[in-house]
A and B are shown apart, each in its own frame.
Chain A
Amino acid sequence: MSGDSSDLEALFDSIADGRAPAPAAVPPVVAAAPAPSATSSREVGDSDELQALFDSFTGTQEVVSAPAAAAAVDEEWEGQEKVFQRVGHMARQLHDTMRELGYDKIITQTVGALPDAKDRLAYIATLTEQAACKVLNATDVANPLVDALESDAQGLAQRWDRVFANQLGVDEFKQLAAETRAFLKEGLPQKTSGTKEQLTQIMMAQDFQDLTGQVIKKVVTLAQDMETQLMNALVEVMPGEHRTESVNSLLNGPVINAEGRTDVVVDQQQVDDLLDSLGF
Chain B
Amino acid sequence: MPDPKMKFLVVDDFSTMRRIVRNLLKELGFTNVDEAEDGAIALQKLQCGGFDFVVSDWNMPNMDGLTLLQTIRATPDLKHLPVLMITAEAKKENIIAAAQAGASGYIVKPFTSATLSEKLQKIFEKMDKSA
Contacts and interface: CB of A to CB of B under 8 A. Distances in A.
A and B: partners? yes
Interface residues of A, number: 23
A136 B118 CA distance: 23
Contact of B19 (A136, A252, A271): A136
Given A136-B16, A136-B19, A139-B23, A274 B92 contact: yes
Interface in A63-91: none
Contacts, number: 63
A129 interface: yes
B109 interface: yes
B99 A253 contact: no
B101 to A, nearest CB: 11
Interface string B100-120: 000000111101000100000
A250 interface: yes
A254 B108 CA distance: 9
Residue of A267, A278, A280 with most partner-chain B CB within 10 A:
A280
Contacts of A267: 108
Contacts of A25: none
A254 B99 contact: no
Interface of A: 129, 132-133, 136, 139, 250-255, 258, 263-268, 271, 274-275, 278, 280
Given A253-B88, A274-B96, 7 more contacts: A250-B58, A250-B66, A250-B97, A263-B93, A271-B106, A275-B99, A278-B99
